[in-house]
Structure 1
Amino acid sequence: MNRRDFLVQSGAAAAASVSLGADAIAQSAATNTGAKAPGRKPNIILYLSDQFRWDFVGANGANSSTKTPNLDAMAKRGKNFTHAVTNQPVCAPARSVLMTSRYATETGVWRNGPALDHTLPTLAGELRKAGYTSNLIGKWHLAPSAEAAGGGPGYVKPEYRGGFLDLWEGANALEHTSHPFYGSLFDGDGKEIKFQDQYRVDFLTDRTERFLRQKHEKPFFLFVSQLEPHQQNDENRMVGPKGSAARFINAHVPPDLRALPGDWHQQLPDYYGACESIDASVGRIKKVLQETGQADNTIFVFISDHGCHFMTRNQEYKRSTHNSSVRIPLIIDGPGFEGAQQIPELVGLINVAPTLLEAVGVPVPSSWKGRSALPLLKDTAAREAWPNKELVQISESMTARTIKTQDWTYCVADISGAKKAASPTYLEWQLYDQRNDPHELVNLAGRKEYLEVAKQLRGELVELLKYAGEGSPEIQPATLYP
């Protein structure tokens, strides 16, 4: 059964960057390494910024301190999916969903550490079969983390690259092979590529520019996978470019953070600086595309794997059901995505790969669980029929499951404390009203006036769990309130 049929049966399917300037545009004819040829498919750049909150994009209008002119320009040129969510708010599982359009419990990567199931069709592999080159620069995180299994934090063997078999300049866990101002990547043969006295974002952008200025005989798929604004693990802190923390010392504090204890007081200034650097990187890449004549034939996707709640919801930065952890930026411009438009429907990470394949005319594997969001751009009937329901699987911090809708967040958890792929029994744990409490500060689970809402959401969550291959676990109603 495909996803559309499932959602229909369940009742879900009812009825130019401001930083470029005129000089850069004037240079666009100087070098042409990939201009559109008759019948040539568009290039695709998938730019992922790790742990980038959706509300730190200025175009989303929720933060008075963000400085993201290049991302804002993308939103003015293309499609801004304002209510995109991750289906697993932790690095490796989220990336597995993005690359395979399957749930993390199906990819083999339900937590950080295991390798991606190599039998699954991937976005890189499908594009490569269709005549693209598939290329990666930056963080991968889908090879085995244990050296005993043939993995580790650095070099990634070809069999663990998920179809990225052309240019490879990456590290499985970039946070363990580098620091913000020095470190290493590894090429396809395992040769170390070092950088020193340069901000990591800028180094990866340099490598991206080097790739884009080469001559490309085929259309390319390029995955630019930045670590920032994710924390540097061994320092347990965010690190922005030099001087950025001082510039953002009194920056806006998002309402979901300011009401709760956490470490946002210390981390926000550097986080702002790192986000600003990511935006500048996007601007640089856009400038190179203009200069090389590739801008008009390149789909550019800006996305994150999950958000960041700064230890306000648990003892780290994600792995929770809340918008601060689950809601992500998703902006796409280029061929097929021209014209400013905000897309308010709920779109999951699982929908991104089929959207891109459809956009370039490549068949979507029948085994994929997501569906293309392209109809949302111009089809009123498709928008009305869009399910606006996404399953979020929580792991590592606990074993939990969430259904996100436009109106509600409903979460159930294994209260035994077990940290495993799934559970046969859950207890209702959280219920948030998105209309009246968008910052999710008041948990309504168990309150008698919301019992019918909870019952409805419980049934819808069970259907999504069946679709994800988890069977029909028992969900016990909350009993906190009489």
Structure 2
Amino acid sequence: MARRGTQPNIIVFFTDQQRWDTAGVHGNPLGLTPNFDRVAVRGTHLYHSFTCQPVCGPARSAMQTGLYPTTTGCHRNQIPLPEGTRTLAHYFREAGYRTGYIGKWHLADENPVPEAKRGGYDYWLGANALEMTSDAYDAVLFNNDNERVKLPGYRVDALADDAIRFIDREQNDPFFLFLSFLEPHHQNHRDDYPSPDVYQESYTGRWAPPDLAALGGTSAQHLGGYYGMVKRLDEALGRVWDAVKSLDLADDTIILFTSDHACHFKTRNAEYKRSCHESSIRVPTALIGPGFDSRGQIRELISLIDIPPTLLKAAGIPVPDAMQGRPIQPLLRRETEDWPDDVYVQISEAQIGRALRTSRWKYSVASPEPNRTDASSDTYVEEYLYDLQADPYELHNLIHYESHREVKAVLRERLLKRMVQAGEEEALILPAEEKRSGQRRVTEAEARR
């Protein structure tokens, strides 16, 4: 029986390395995401949604804690969450929720993951690096007792099946379920995007986003498989939603869909992410359920760091002062005056980088010492500037243009303030060498838009 009027159940449907423009509501013409599109249209669509760190482990640390990776210390992969770190599981458990985690964790340094490194979740069926323990048709995870569990079916379906079993078991009490897929991330050991067999050839040679059409990378080889994985993820979302509906829990359950980062198919560096570009940082995000139904499209810029406080507030749980994001609920009431017109992005592993994305501009800097593994640097050099109004696919880097000096000065100041607000030490940003561009000079007023 439904528990109307009490704490809502919350399901996080978390994908890995999924671009925003895989979704129909973002213009993809291939019909890959009818269920996500339905959530976005009937619920709340966070149209401009971005990761705060375009790499798996750091992004996941932010999603679990509401803290930037430089605050948790998990600024690179293979750095475990520090002992005693408070996660969403702790807050929901203390509020009377049954908590569950299914799938990829990537916040420990070993498989199977010891109980002390699981972030406080009650139910556990996971693996630290799921791509290392399983394959597309070989879904292997570990249970609460660290026993090896092999699930039948394509990996996406196997995880979704277990999520449905969890929902069925816990339907009489409030639950918080974090369902974390590996797809549509590539399968590391073979550098492939293994879609379900039925979709192996369905999307090869079909539509490509303009940045991939222009720059290529590995998209000709991999985009078809990637799209097949996205299609099956969306089908799994529909199955989870159907399960909630069939148990008469739809009025009591919030479903959040988002991803840890996106995928540029080796068009921006030597691999798939870890850059400032939209193809690394922009992800599809939507919510449906109590408090989010029929809220329409939110156009303000939202960061992954804003999701944890949003979920806590939706459940009536006080948001800790230590969290570094902010809940989006004021935006649902169209109270937008105090919402910042930028998101802040930390970049690691490929470089020590920092980026600012505003409604018009993308500005990124990097340490002049590319091989350092520190969390941050005391000195950065300007690397990228894009005018997203004129160049939404980031094909023309303006960082060296004398005509955009005012833009760079304004964004440099804003980025330095954002770094300090995130708890980092004050740093120096060295201006890029300039050249004449032959274009008109961009005014300071335009820079501040």
User: Residues of 2 paired with 1:220 and 1:43: CA distance?
Assistant: 5
Say which SS state the counterpart of residue 200 (structure 2) adopts.
helix
TM-score by length of 1: 0.88
Give the structure 1 partner of residue 379 of structure 2: 425
Q: 1:128-207 counterparts in 2 under 5 A?
A: 128-143=93-108, 145=109, 152=110, 154-164=111-121, 166-196=122-152, 198-207=153-162
Q: Deviations over 1:48-70 (max 9, x none)?
A: 0111111111122x221242111
Say which SS state the counterpart of residue 419 (structure 2) adopts.
helix
User: Residues of 2 paired with 1:268 and 1:340: CA distance?
Assistant: 33
Correspondent of 1:386 among 336, 339, 353: 339
| RMSD over aligned Cα atoms | 1.2
The letter for the 2-side match of 1:460 is: R
Say which SS state the counterpart of residue 429 (structure 1) adopts.
strand
- Tell me, yes or no, if the aligned pair for 1:56 and 1:66 is still in contact at 8 Å: no
The verdict on how the C-alpha distance between 1:90 and 1:215 changes in structure 2, with shifts beyond 3 A counting, is closer
Give the structure 2 partner of residue 51 of structure 1: 17
Does residue 407 (structure 1) correspond to residue 360 (structure 2)? The answer is: yes
Q: 1:27-426 counterparts in 2 under 5 A?
A: 32=1, 35-38=2-5, 40-60=6-26, 62-143=27-108, 145=109, 152=110, 154-164=111-121, 166-196=122-152, 198-379=153-334, 382-420=335-373, 421-426=375-380
The letter for the 2-side match of 1:98 is: M
Give the structure 1 partner of residue 439 of structure 2: none
Say which SS state the counterpart of residue 391 (structure 2) adopts.
coil
Say which SS state the counterpart of residue 179 (structure 1) adopts.
coil
Q: Which runs of 5+ in 1 are unaligned?
A: 1-31, 146-151
User: Residues of 1 paired with 2:47 and 2:192: CA distance?
Assistant: 28
The letter for the 2-side match of 1:404 is: R
The letter for the 1-side match of 2:197 is: K
Q: CA deviation at 1:183?
A: 3.5
The letter for the 1-side match of 2:22 is: F
- Tell me, yes or no, if the aligned pair for 1:156 and 1:171 is still in contact at 8 Å: yes
Correspondent of 1:445 among 395, 399, 406: 399
User: Residues of 2 paired with 1:441 and 1:477: CA distance?
Assistant: 21
User: Residues of 2 paired with 1:388 and 1:122: CA distance?
Assistant: 27
The verdict on how the C-alpha distance between 1:341 and 1:123 changes in structure 2, with shifts beyond 3 A counting, is same
Correspondent of 1:475 among 411, 429, 443: 429
In the comparison of the two structures, how many residue pairs are matched? 435
Q: Which runs of 5+ in 2 are unaligned?
A: 437-449
113-122 or 269-278: which moved more?
113-122
The letter for the 1-side match of 2:346 is: Q
Give the structure 2 partner of residue 461 of structure 1: 415
- Tell me, yes or no, if the aligned pair for 1:427 and 1:476 is still in contact at 8 Å: yes
- Tell me, yes or no, if the aligned pair for 1:121 and 1:365 is still in contact at 8 Å: no
Does residue 435 (structure 1) correspond to residue 389 (structure 2)? The answer is: yes
Q: Deviations over 1:191-218 (max 9, x none)?
A: 111135x210011111111111214443
Q: CA deviation at 1:384?
A: 2.9
User: Residues of 1 paired with 2:305 and 2:169: CA distance?
Assistant: 32
- Tell me, yes or no, if the aligned pair for 1:75 and 1:340 is still in contact at 8 Å: no
User: Residues of 1 paired with 2:378 and 2:326: CA distance?
Assistant: 28
Say which SS state the counterpart of residue 141 (structure 2) adopts.
strand
User: Residues of 2 paired with 1:43 and 1:118: CA distance?
Assistant: 27
User: Residues of 1 paired with 2:337 and 2:192: CA distance?
Assistant: 43
The letter for the 2-side match of 1:431 is: L
231-240 or 411-420: which moved more?
411-420
- Tell me, yes or no, if the aligned pair for 1:245 and 1:269 is still in contact at 8 Å: yes
User: Residues of 1 paired with 2:421 and 2:380: CA distance?
Assistant: 17
- Tell me, yes or no, if the aligned pair for 1:81 and 1:342 is still in contact at 8 Å: yes
- Tell me, yes or no, if the aligned pair for 1:48 and 1:225 is still in contact at 8 Å: yes
User: Residues of 1 paired with 2:285 and 2:144: CA distance?
Assistant: 29
The letter for the 1-side match of 2:41 is: K
The letter for the 2-side match of 1:181 is: Y
The letter for the 1-side match of 2:7 is: K
- Tell me, yes or no, if the aligned pair for 2:139 and 2:158 is still in contact at 8 Å: no
The letter for the 1-side match of 2:29 is: S
67-76 or 215-224: which moved more?
215-224
- Tell me, yes or no, if the aligned pair for 1:348 and 1:390 is still in contact at 8 Å: yes
Q: Deviations over 1:108-157 (max 9, x none)?
A: 210000101233322121111111111101011111x2xxxxxx1x2211
Q: CA deviation at 1:419?
A: 3.2
User: Residues of 2 paired with 1:280 and 1:251: CA distance?
Assistant: 20
User: Residues of 2 paired with 1:203 and 1:225: CA distance?
Assistant: 12
Q: Deviations over 1:251-298 (max 9, x none)?
A: 111001111141000101101100000000000011111111111100
The letter for the 2-side match of 1:456 is: V
Give the structure 2 partner of residue 13 of structure 1: none
The verdict on how the C-alpha distance between 1:98 and 1:215 changes in structure 2, with shifts beyond 3 A counting, is closer
TM-score by length of 2: 0.95
Say which SS state the counterpart of residue 442 (structure 1) adopts.
coil
